[in-house]
Structure 1
Amino acid sequence: MPAQIYAPFERFNFSNRNCFLTGSPLQSEEEKIQVFPQWLMSLYNLEDQPFKLLDESIATYKDLKIPCSAAANDEFLEPLENEIAAAFADGYEGVKALDELKLFQWTSKLLYGIIFNEIQSGIKMMHAQGEEFSISQAIIHKFSYLHLMLQSINLPIHFEEFKPFSLFLFKVDNKPEEFGYRDEINTQTFALRIKDFGLVICLQDNNANFGYHYKIYSQIKDDVLHPIQFEEFSGRVFYSNYLFNRLPEYNILPVGEDVYIEDMPLRGISSKPLFDEWINKTYGQVLENFWKNWGFLLLEIIKNPNEPMSFLFDADGNKVSRESISLPN
C-alpha cells in the first residue's frame, strides 16, 4: 500500500487540531513546535525579536508555532533539527558536508511554518471582517507541492533524477553575533547568513535559478565573501526567482509503499524563456533593500543604468576581492 500523503490544501485545513506534517489528529491544540527552532533562537537571542507578517501585524520569533504531533516531532523532526544544528555549529564546512536534501527539508519546514502562520493570520483577519479568506490558485499550487515535498521527511518519497530546488552556499566573513535572515514566501526563496557562511535556496524551481546564475556562482563559490558581496548575490537570486515564470508540474507515482515524484519539463508547451526580462532599475531596488546595512540608495546603485553598482565584479568584469572592500562588515 502506498504511503498516505497528507494534502491540507484540498480541504484548506489550517486548524490547530491536526499535525501540520501528517494530518493526524492532535491530543490538544497546545501540541505545537516552534517554527524557528529553539537552538537557533537561543544562539541569536531571537525569541522576543519582532517578526513582521504579510498583513503588517508584528509577531515575535517565539510566537511562530505550528501544530505538530509529539510522535512526528520525536521520530522525524527532532532528528533533522539535531543534524542541522550540529552541522551549523561546525560552520561552513559542516553545512557543506550536509546532504543537500536535508537542507531542503529543513528550509522547507521553516518556510512552510511561516506560510502556515500567514494563512492562519489571514483567515482570522478576513473572518473578523465577515469575509471569506481567498488565495490565488497559483499560490495554492506552489504551496501544495512544497508541502508534498516536505513529507519526504516522514514518508518514503523520492525525487526521480531531478532536484526540486536551487542551493547556493558561500563562506562569508560575518560578524560572530550577526543573524542575517530573509525570505520571500510567494517565490519560496530563503537566505540565511550566520557564523562563517551564507546560503540561498529557491525551494521549488527545479534547479532553474542554479542554471541561471551558474556562470557567476562558479566564479565566486570558493571565495570568502564580504557580507555585502553575499547580499548582492542573494539579491540577484531573489530577483531572478521573481522573474521565473513557470509553475513546475510533477507526476506522482506510487510504487509499492514508496512514492516517486517525477518532474515535467519546465519548457512545456511555451516558447517563452523560463525567466522574464531582467530590468536593472528593478534589480537596483532589490539591491537597495538588500544593502540597507550600508546605506546605498537607488540613485547611486543605478547611476549607470546599464551597469548597476557591484561589489562582486569591477567595470572590466574582474572579481572584486573581499580585502579590497573598505566598508564595515
Structure 2
Amino acid sequence: MSFPFYNPFENIFLDSKTCFLTGVDLPDENHGVNIFPDWILDRFELRGKTFTMMDQVSSFLYEDLKLPCSSGVEEAFANLEEDIQNVFALGYEGVRTVDTHKLFLWMGKIVYGILYHDLLIEKERLRKLDKEFSLSPRLKERFSLFHLMLQSLVSPVSFKGVKPWSVSVVRLKYSKDIFNYRDDPVRLMFSLGMNGFGIIACLQDNGMVQQHQEGILKKIGNIELHPIQFEELCARFYYSNYLLATRPRYNMEEDHSGGITIEAVAGDNGEENPKFEKWDEKMFARVLAGYWEPWGLKINDIITVPNDPISFLINEYTEAFISPDTIRLPF
C-alpha cells in the first residue's frame, strides 16, 4: 500500500487550517511554525523588523511569517532546529561537516515558507482582479518535487546516490554579528552569511550548479573570504542557476512499505546541448550590482566596454585567487 504523500500543488491548495507538509486538518489557524526560527529571531533582533516579499510591495514582520503545521511536524522541526543551532554555533568547522540533508530541510523550510506567502499574495492580487491563479506545468513540477523532498522530515522519503541539492560552505569574515540572508523561492535558491561562515545552496539542481562553479570553489578552499567576495560568489551561483538549461530529473523507487527513494539523475547533454545557457557578462554585471550595493558599486563601476566585469575573487590577468587581505573595502 502506498504512503499517502501530500501534494498541495496538484490543485494549488494553500490553506491556513491545513498542515503545509502533511495535509492533515488543523483544529484552528493557531497551529504553526515560524519560518525563521526563534533562536535566529532573538539572536539578530529580527522579530519587529520587516521582511519584504517578492513583489517588493508586501511585507511582514519576521515574527509573523509562519507556516501552518501539525504538532508532529512542529516537534520534528523543533528537533531539527536544536541540531542546526548547535552546529551553527560552531561556525565554519561545524557547518561544513553537518549532513547536507539536515541543512536541506532547514533551508528548505525557510525557502518554502517564503514561497508559500508569495503565492498567497499573488493569489489574492489576482482574486481582486477576478482572475484565476495558476502555475505553469514546469513550476508545478518543480514545487511538487521540492515539497515531496521536504516531507522526508516526517515521512518515508529517502535519498540515494546523487542528491537533488548542492550546498557550498565557505569561511567568511564580518566586522559584526549579522544575519545576511537571500533567497530566490521560484528557483529554489538560498544563501546565508553569519558567524564566520557562508552557505550557498541550490535546492533542486542535482549538484550541477555547484559543479559549474567547482573551479572557483577549489581556489577558495579554506580561505576566509571578505564579505564582498562572498557576495560575488553568491552572484555567480544565482546567475548560474538562472542559466541552468538541463531540467533536473529523478529516479523514484517505491519500496514494499510504500515509501519512496529518490535518486537524482546527473545531467549531461553533451557539447551540442550544454547544461547551461551562454554566460552574458553584461547580464552578470547587473546581477553583481545588486549584490555589491552595500559598497556603493554601480553597474558603470563594475563593467566598462570592452572589459569583463571587475572581480574581487579572480585576477583577470593571472586567473589567480585574490587574497582577501588586499581588498581595501569595509567588512
User: Shorter-chain-normalised TM-score: which range?
Assistant: over 0.9
1: CA distance between counterparts of 2:203 and 2:272? Answer: 24
Counterpart in 1 of 2:329?
327
The letter of the residue matching 2:149 is M
Match status 1:287 vs 2:302: no
- Counterpart-to-counterpart distance in 1, 2:266 and 2:183: 27
Unmatched 5+ stretches in structure 1: none
The CA deviation string for residues 232-257 of structure 1, in whole angstroms up to 9 with x for no partner, is 11110000000002332323221022
Task: Answer whether contact 1:18 1:25 (CA < 8 A) is retained.
Answer: yes
Q: What displacement does 1:265 show?
A: 4.9
Aligned residue in 1 for 2:267: 266
- Which residue of structure 2 aligns with residue 313 of structure 1? 314
Structure 1 residue 152, shift from structure 2 partner? 1.2
Spell out, residue by residue over 1:74-98, the C-alpha distance to the aligned partner (whole angstroms, 9 max, x if none). 1x21111111111111111121121
Q: Secondary structure at the match of 2:168?
A: strand
Per-residue deviation at 1:173? 0.6
What CA distance in whole angstroms lies between the structure 2 residues aligned with 1:223 and 1:91?
14
Q: How does 1:31-180 map to 2 (within 5 A)?
A: 31-55=31-55, 56-74=57-75, 76-180=76-180
Paired residue for 1:297? 298
Distance in structure 2 (CA, Å) of the matches to 1:73 and 1:24: 13
The answer as to whether partners of 1:142 and 1:247 remain within 8 angstroms in 2 is: no
Amino acid in structure 2 at the alignment position of 1:323: D
Q: Matches of 1:92 and 1:269 in 2, distance apart? A: 36
Q: State the alpha-carbon separation in 2 of the partners of residues 271 and 311 from structure 1.
A: 32
Does the C-alpha gap of structure 1 residues 147 and 269 become closer, same or farther in structure 2, counting only changes over 3 Å? farther
Q: Distance in 1 between matches of 2:262 and 2:200?
A: 24
Q: 1:304 to 1:178 in 2, by over 3 A?
A: farther
- Supply the distance in 2 between the matched residues of 1:124 and 1:308 (Cα, whole angstroms): 40
Aligned to 1:200, the other structure's residue is in SS state strand
Q: Select between 280-289 and 268-277 the one with higher mean Cα deviation.
A: 268-277
Which range moved further: 240-249 or 303-312?
A: 303-312
Residue 306 of structure 1: how far off its partner (Å)? 4.1
For residues 2 and 85 of structure 2, the distance between their equivalents in structure 1, rounded to whole angstroms, comes to 32
**Structure 2 residues without counterparts, runs of 5 or longer:** none
Contact 1:138 1:247 in 2 (8 A): no
1:138-176: CA deviations, max 9, x gaps?
111111111011111112212231111121111101133
Question: In structure 2, the residue corresponding to 1:113 is in which secondary structure?
Answer: helix
Provide the C-alpha distance between the structure 2 equivalents of 1:24 and 1:225, rounded to a whole number of angstroms. Answer: 45
Contact 2:206 2:265 in 1 (8 A): no
Secondary structure at the aligned position of 2:191 is classed as strand
- Alignment check: 8 A CA contact 1:92 1:171 kept: yes
* Paired amino acid for 1:72: V
Instruction: Give the TM-score normalised by the residue count of structure 1.
Output: 0.95
C-alpha separation in 2, matches of 1:298 and 1:57: 27
Partner SS state of residue 181, structure 1: strand
Contact 1:200/1:234, CA 8 A, preserved across alignment: yes
> How big is each residue's C-alpha offset from its partner over 1:194-228, in whole Å with a ceiling of 9 and x where there is no partner?
11011100000000011101111011021000000
The C-alpha deviation readout for 1:81-120, integer Å capped at 9, x for no partner, is 1111111111111211211111011111110111111111
**Paired-residue identity, %:** 36
Q: Distance in 2 between matches of 1:208 and 1:251?
A: 16
Larger mean CA deviation between 32-41 and 270-279 belongs to 270-279
- Aligned residue runs from structure 1 range 242-281, under 5 A: 242-257=242-257, 258-267=259-268, 271-281=272-282
Moved more, 266-275 or 84-93: 266-275
* Residue pairs, 1:196-275, within 5 angstroms: 196-257=196-257, 258-267=259-268, 271-275=272-276
What SS does the corresponding residue of 2:51 show, helix, strand or coil? strand
Contact 1:240 1:275 in 2 (8 A): yes
How far 1:123 moved relative to its partner? 1.6
Supply the distance in 2 between the matched residues of 1:163 and 1:46 (Cα, whole angstroms): 32
